[in-house]
Amino acid sequence: MSPRTARPRHYLMCRPAHFTVDYSINPWMDPAKPTDTDTALAQWDELYALFQRLGHTVELIDPLPGMPDMVFAANGATVVDGRVLGARFRYPERTAEGPAYADWFRDRGWQVRDPEQINEGEGDLLVAGDRILAGTGFRTETAAHAEAQSFLGREVVTLRLVDPRYYHLDTALAVLDDDEIMYHPPAFDAESRAVLERLYPDAVLADADAAKVFGLNAVSDGANVILPEAATGLAEQLRDRGFTPIGVDLTELLRAGGAVKCCTLELRR
């Protein structure tokens, strides 16, 4: 079994201080079901503390009232080699988050591109070594994949999502290391499955039970893989590959259709 080495990461997160579900833009969101902001905060705090315990640097963006989904920082941008591709959201409920995240970066001296095409940040644009795996079908447009490739300077591989429950790429696929991924094959169309099989013949394949507890909405530092604790079978598969899975409870945030990766935007200098 190959030895695994963690690389310290730099993340951006947003406390769910205004968390609620008062609109529905994915099948997980039911505004009729009450949410509990304190529970969301307590669960999120555990994740925040865990990243720091593992030696990662976490920066925070101020949560804005009236933007309950702002906790899902992964959607706020895509950051590669110090370049920030801003986000442009599909639905009006989240539109204002794009400029809010872009301002955070500009205020700190980062170079930010205001996107021309709809892209929901690392929700659909996952950096895997020298390439970017890019989702489309529900949120991010394929034209945004070309925009990401030219601005970020990495080869972009388009993958089409077909199951509305897995509406962002990061709900169906996670990058474990530069050249290792895990994914749920039925979330993709046949052509994309063929691409994934060719590029990643040794990928960890997640079953339906793992996918539906958002097991793929995970963050890896190359050795530790933080994932929803309910994904016990997937954790076992990761352990067999030499990773250290660490389960966390983010079930309150799952009511909005998000978990570990959704809360975490990686900042790559």
Binding residues for ligand ARG, per CB under 6 A?
Answer: 25-26, 29, 69, 72, 74-75, 94, 123, 168, 170-171, 256-258, 262
Q: Is the CB of 29 or the CB of 196 nearer to ligand ARG?
A: 29
Q: Is the CB of 94 or the CB of 160 nearer to ligand ARG?
A: 94
| Residue 222 structure tokens | 């190359």
Kindly list the distances between the CA atom of residue 197 and the CA atoms of 44, 60, 181, 183, in Å, as whole numbers in the listed order: 34, 37, 11, 11
CB of 74 to ligand ARG, least distance (A): 4
Q: Is the CB of 15 or the CB of 94 nearer to ligand ARG?
A: 94
Q: Three-state SS for 186? A: helix
Q: Is the CB of 44 or the CB of 72 nearer to ligand ARG?
A: 72
Q: Nearest-CA neighbor of 135 among 206, 68, 24, 217?
A: 217
CB of 25 to ligand ARG, least distance (A): 5
Rounded to an integer, what distance in angstroms lies between the CA atom of residue 128 and that of residue 122?
A: 11
CB of 124 to ligand ARG, least distance (A): 8
CB of 75 to ligand ARG, least distance (A): 5
Residue 13 region by backbone torsions, left for phi larger than 0, else alpha for psi between -120 and 50, else beta: beta
Q: Is the CB of 26 or the CB of 192 nearer to ligand ARG?
A: 26
| Residue 253 structure tokens | 């945030």
The one-letter code for the residue type at 216 is L
Task: Find the catalytic residue in 56, 145, 184, 262.
Answer: 262
Other Cβ atoms closer than 10 A to 49: 11
Whether 168 sits among the annotated catalytic residues: the reply is yes
Task: Find the catalytic residue in 56, 168, 184, 263.
Answer: 168
Rounded to an integer, what distance in angstroms lies between the CA atom of residue 258 and that of residue 71?
A: 9
Rounded to an integer, what distance in angstroms lies between the CA atom of residue 170 and that of residue 35?
A: 23
Q: Are 250 and 259 spatial neighbours (Cβ–Cβ below 8 Å)?
A: yes
Q: Is the CB of 4 or the CB of 251 nearer to ligand ARG?
A: 251
CB of 259 to ligand ARG, least distance (A): 8
CB of 242 to ligand ARG, least distance (A): 26
Whether 262 sits among the annotated catalytic residues: the reply is yes
Q: What residues contact residue 85 under an 8 Å CB cut-off, 6+ apart? A: 77, 78, 79, 112, 113, 115, 119, 121, 125, 147, 148, 151, 152
Catalytic residues: 168, 262
